């Protein structure tokens, strides 16, 4: 840890699902829940990247709050009463997943990430067996112009992990998001083919953090795109160097 950090964070106590827990004041609800073995589903969150509350899967109920709060970006407060498994939450989580599936063209059986996909695993974990919403079937092209990697927008859930890892860890900020709502799309540089991007260092971090088969190494067959968990190690080493 940084030896110059003088301020010792104070400890706060709160309740999660009726159980008393204590945590440092600078922690988020998600951190505290995980420390205490309470499961909160997430997709956009990734240790080592700034949380942005994009996927909304980590919504929790907090007593007194007028709306549901995303656990990944909610700082804890003293005497908070948090509920993570209410009927509403269970219903909403499934709904969010259904909407993700309905929005793009997720075809697990032929996907490079079949069996190693966080979206697929989450759907299984939360017991998703139907999509009640009509599929949008957007016509999205695959960009395979990069020498080593390809991006298939059909499988993108707009978690922006690629955007964050490229910006915060690699420092290239090749990735960004264009458009609004369902028209949103991750893009490279100024919305040009990935292979023509000047800023991309071809480091492959974006590919490694992608929760689905959106970003993948070319040449991989169905189910062959496995990811390495490099990020916790990388961030730890960088913290130590500061």
Partner 1 sequence: MGKQIVIDPVTRIEGHSKITIFLDDKGEVQDAQFHVTQFRGFEKFAEGRPFTEMPALTARTCGICPVSHLMASSKACDALMAVQIPRTATHLRRIMNLAQTVQSHALSFFHLSSPDLLLGMDSDPAKRNIFGVLEQQPQMARDGVALRKFGQQIIEMLGGKRIHPAWVVAGGVAEPLTAEKREKIVAMIPDAMAIIQRTLDWYKGAFEQFRTEIRTFGNFPSMFMGLVTPHEEDEHNALLEHYDGVLRFVDASGNVVLDNVDPARYLDHIAEAVEPFSYLKSPYFKPLGYPNGIYRVGPLARLNIIDRPGTPKADAEWTEFRALRRGVLLSSFHQHYARLVEILYGIEKIEQLLNEPDILSKHVRAFAKPNKHEGVGVSEAPRGTLMHHYKIDDNGLITWVNMIIATGHNNLAMNRGVAQVAKHYVKGSKLKEGALNRVEALIRCFDPCLSCSTHALGQMPMRIELLGPGGELLDHVQRG
3-state helix, strand, coil in the chain (%, to 5): 30, 15, 55
The C-alpha angle 121, 161, 154, rounded to 5 degrees, equals: 65
* Rounded Cα distance, 34 and 40, in Å: 8
Chosen residue from 65, 90, 110, 121 binding partner 1 by CB under 8 A: 110
Q: Which is nearer to partner 1, 80 or 186 (CB)?
A: 186
* Rounded Cα distance, 242 and 139, in Å: 46
Interface positions, 162-201, toward partner 1 (CB under 8 A): 195
Chosen residue from 19, 63, 218, 228 binding partner 1 by CB under 8 A: 218
Chosen residue from 11, 121, 136, 142 binding partner 1 by CB under 8 A: 142
Quote the least distance from Cβ 13 to partner 1, whole Å: 49
Q: Which is nearer to partner 1, 80 or 156 (CB)?
A: 156
Q: Which is nearer to partner 1, 195 or 204 (CB)?
A: 195
Q: Which whole-number Å values give the CA distances from 158 to 77, 86, 127, in the listed order?
A: 30, 26, 22
Q: Which of 237, 213, 241 is nearest to 227 (CA)?
A: 213
* Contact range with partner 1 by CB under 8 A, out of 36-44, 73-81, 105-113, 121-129: 105-113
**Binding of partner 1 at residue 144 (CB under 8 A)?**
yes
**Binding of partner 1 at residue 145 (CB under 8 A)?**
yes
DSSP strands (E only) in 38-154? 59-62, 69-70, 81-83, 142-143, 149-152
Quote the least distance from Cβ 223 to partner 1, whole Å: 5
**Binding of partner 1 at residue 95 (CB under 8 A)?**
no
**Binding of partner 1 at residue 150 (CB under 8 A)?**
yes
- Asked if 49 and 209 touch (Cβ cutoff 8 Å), the reply is yes
Tell me, by CB under 8 A, how many residues bind partner 1: 18
Tell how far CA 47 is from the center of its chain: 9
Chosen residue from 83, 224, 227, 234 binding partner 1 by CB under 8 A: 224
The Cβ of residue 56 has, within 10 Å, a number of other Cβ atoms equal to 18
Q: Kindly list the residues in this chain that would bind partner 1 in the complex (CB under 8 A).
A: 109-110, 112, 114, 141-142, 144-145, 150, 152, 195, 218-224
């Amino acid at each position: 840890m940084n030896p110059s950090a003088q301020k010792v964070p104070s400890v706060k106590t709160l309740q999660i699902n009726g159980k008393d827990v204590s945590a440092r004041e600078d922690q988020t609800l998600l951190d505290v829940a995980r420390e205490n073995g309470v499961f909160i589903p997430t997709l956009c969150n990734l240790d080592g990247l700034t949380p942005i509350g994009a996927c909304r899967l980590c919504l929790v109920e907090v007593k007194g709050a007028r709306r549901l709060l995303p656990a990944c970006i909610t700082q804890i407060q003293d005497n908070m009463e948090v509920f993570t498994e209410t009927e509403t939450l269970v219903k909403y989580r499934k709904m969010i997943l259904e909407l993700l599936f309905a929005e793009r063209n997720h075809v697990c059986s032929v996907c490079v990430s079949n069996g190693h996909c966080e979206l697929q695993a989450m759907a299984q974990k939360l017991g998703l067996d139907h999509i009640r919403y009509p599929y949008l079937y957007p016509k999205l092209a695959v960009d395979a112009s990069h020498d080593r990697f390809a991006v298939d927008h059909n499988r993108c859930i707009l978690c922006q992990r690629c955007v964050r890892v490229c910006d915060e860890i690699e420092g290239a900020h090749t990735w960004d998001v264009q458009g609004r709502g369902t028209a949103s799309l991750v893009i490279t540089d100024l919305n040009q083919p990935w292979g023509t991007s000047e800023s991309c260092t071809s480091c492959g971090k974006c590919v490694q953090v992608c929760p689905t088969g959106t970003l993948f190494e070319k040449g991989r067959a169905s189910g062959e795109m496995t990811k390495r968990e490099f990020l916790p190690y990388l961030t730890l080493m960088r913290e130590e160097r500061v």
